[in-house]
Structure 1
Amino acid sequence: MKKNITLQATKIVSTAALVLATTGMNFAAEVWYPFPVEEWTPAFDMTSPRTSIEYKPLEKAEKKWDICVSFPHMKDAYWSAVNYGVVDESKRLGVKMQLVEAGGYTNLSKQISQIEDCVAGGADAVVIGAISNEGLNNLVKEVRGKGVPVIDIINGMSSPDLSAKSLVSFGEMGAQTGEYISKLHPAGGKPAKVAWFPGPPGAAWVEAGNSGFQKGIKGSAIEVVETKYGDTGKEVQLKLVEDTLEAHPDIDYIVGTAVTAEAAVGLLRSRGLLDKIKIVSYYFTPGVYQGIKRGQILAAPTDSTVIQGRIAIDQAVRILEKKPYKKHVGPKLYVIDKLNIETFDRNSALAADGFKPTFSVK
């Protein structure tokens, strides 16, 4: 009898574990590491040689540090995934986190004032997803002058005064996207007309993504018939796609931001064009994930957004505690399509099911 009870209990525990794994639930206690990343040396130069390493964070912070996190906005699921990463890692390490968001890529002055308020309020470290490549450089210098570490996350800044970077090469993201469709349309093969939507003008990640994409399609049968920049709000991207379809009804591909891809799915479906025009995103979100699963979006590279958020918090704590840290790292990139959509590490790129934007960890 005792043996049967033990077996039954074991089955219950195993079933519970399986349910948690298959529903994508993710808790602060989960061990997400070691995780494959690339380290740039020398740091802060995206053209530097990279080394593949396994990233391992601290088990716990020595004290309840107060970390300020600044995002350009929280308007889409991409930044929600980064939010999840910084929130969950703050909980795991046992530190406080406060998050501010500027409301969009046109609000540089707001982002600056929000960060100034954070530092004035006693933040021990600042993690910044920058609106502008150069626009926060004076602020970074000022904050570092007060002895506060500054971590550059996701978007990239050109400041030499940064403490660390947790980000990937958006140039490589764009290049992998271009290379993916170039393999479908090699030189001398069937030509394809592409409408390209890189994102907000002036943002470092957009400039890099555009440069990488152009490099990725070079020498192929791809023709970019339209390039349209714009904020990553859904209404803005939807309008850009609508205008492009009016001007170029014969395009073969819509390629661009995840928001562009998500907006394009609904628009093309309503016009009966999903079978005619293919959609590709150059980064990964839940909407892109569902689109690939349903056969509505062809592919997208993943930059393991959640992991970038986790690493930035760990870097901040390591610097504050004067422990060894990696100055410039980012998760390895790879393309997700119908061949690997069911097997990739979902928790590295998407927020846990049921997660809602969270602005503080006490």
Structure 2
Amino acid sequence: MKYKGIFSGLTWAVALGALLAVPATAQDVKPIIGLSKPNLKGPYPTAELYGILDEASKLGFEVVVQDAGGYANIDKQLDQVSNLVIKGVKAVLIDPGDPAALNGVAMQARGAGIFLVGAGVNVVASDVEPDAAVSSSHCNIGRELAAGAKKLMPAGGTIGLLAGPAGSFWAVERLRCFKKDIAGTNIVVVAEMTSEQDAAISLTRASEMLQRNPDLDMLYGADDVFGVGAARAVKAADRCGKTKVIFSVLGEEAEEMMRAGCADYVVAQQPVLIGRTEVRVVADLMKGIKLNPKIIDVPLIAVTMDNLETVDRANMHPPKGWRP
């Protein structure tokens, strides 16, 4: 199936067959997809999860969801993926906390005939090619953030970087391409910090940057967990509009901060569509359909106050109030 151009009942299904009172017939048994994420906290993973679960329900899959509880918990993610392989799932949607660490278990899955799909990233392991991957290019996100920084500060200025979780593929790739695109400009990095993907920690780190650099011109957040923390720190310091804030992912709190004048440029991803597409490619792989392309890049949308009220959110947010 060609995926280029396709971008124009809720259950969290778990494999509980052994606990059901009535044995399932062969026709009743649904194929199982595993999902392995380093962290399911935050607007982006919640929206992606909604897309996965809702689409799986429509297409007749069950989903076993595994959350390692943080990017530092590499061993836990390895154990979770290994358990999914032992369980005999048809496919594993993987967002690797450390792609190099997942080589062994990815090879184990490949040997068992299990499809491996990059979930929100274009890798499943550093030495194992994915059968497919669905993402918004993280390099492109970094480049779009750089475009926003240059637009907001055409004459240059100082910037502090909330760089994301240390060593995480997506955060490293975004920052690499951001720095590449601001090289040669008068935008000067004066502070850079990594931290866990946690709202309270992000607020603390951003506040520390502002205390050390009270006239800071801009804060960069790797995603909205970091970006909203930056915006809240700017608001607390009474610097909304003075210290510009840029980040990716347009969650509800990001919208609130932008309306308050404390967030200035957001590179919005479409995580609901990403999640849905991950499930669709598994369905195609199981039918033997050759994917073209197999690395599917979901478009980005740049959001400012100029288009905040008109941008289409259907593929960005789950239904209001939805929780897994």
CA contact (8 A) 1:182 1:216 kept: no
**Sequence identity of aligned pairs in percent?**
24
In structure 2, C-alpha distance between the alignment counterparts of 1:345 and 1:134, rounded to whole Å: 37
SS at match of 2:167: coil
Q: Secondary structure of 1:53's match?
A: coil
Q: Does 1:252 align with 2:220?
A: no
Indicate the residue corresponding to 2:63 in structure 1: 97
Is it true that 1:240 corresponds to 2:209 in the alignment? no
2:301 aligns with 334
Distance 1:283 1:213, change over 3 A: farther
For residue 218 of structure 2, what is the amino acid of its counterpart? Y
For the 8 Å contact 2:38–2:67, the answer to whether it is kept is yes
Letter in structure 2 aligned against 1:345: D
State the AA in 2 paired with 1:323. Answer: I
Aligned partners of 1:194 and 1:254 also within 8 Å:
yes
- 1:131–1:155 contact (8 Å) kept in structure 2: no
SS of equivalent residue, structure 1 residue 274: coil
User: Does the alignment pair 1:267 with 2:233?
Assistant: yes
Distance, in Å, in 2 between the alignment partners of 1:315 and 1:220 is 41
1:77-156, aligned counterparts within 5 Å? Answer: 77-156=43-122
Q: Which has the larger displacement, 62-71 or 96-105?
A: 62-71
The runs of at least 4 consecutive aligned structure 1 residues that moved more than 3 Å come to none
Q: Does 1:200 align with 2:152?
A: no
Q: How far did 1:320 drift?
A: 1.5
Q: Displacement of 1:55 after TM fit?
A: 5.2
2: CA distance, partners of 1:194 / 1:314: 40
Structure 1 CA distance for aligned equivalents of residues 274 and 74 of structure 2: 22
Q: Aligned match of 2:314 in 343, 347, 351?
A: 347
Q: Deviations over 1:302-346 (max 9, x none)?
A: 221111111111111111121243411021123111122122220
TM-score by length of 2: 0.86
Work out whether 1:276 is the aligned partner of 2:242: yes
1:229 is matched with 194
Question: Is there any run of 5+ residues in structure 2 with no aligned partner, and where?
Answer: 9-27
One-letter amino acid matched to 1:173: I
Check 1:215–1:161 CA distance in 2 against 1; reply closer, same or farther (3 A cut). closer
Q: Which moved more, 1:266-275 or 1:330-339?
A: 266-275
Q: How many Å apart are 1:170 and its aligned residue?
A: 0.9
Structure 1 unaligned residues grouped into runs of 5+:
1-36, 40-51, 57-61
Provide Cα deviations, 1:73-94, integer angstroms capped at 9, x if missing partner. 1221111011111011111212
Match for 1:168 among 136, 146, 151? 136
Residue 246 of structure 1, CA deviation: 2.2
Between 247-256 and 284-293, the greater mean CA deviation after superposition: 284-293
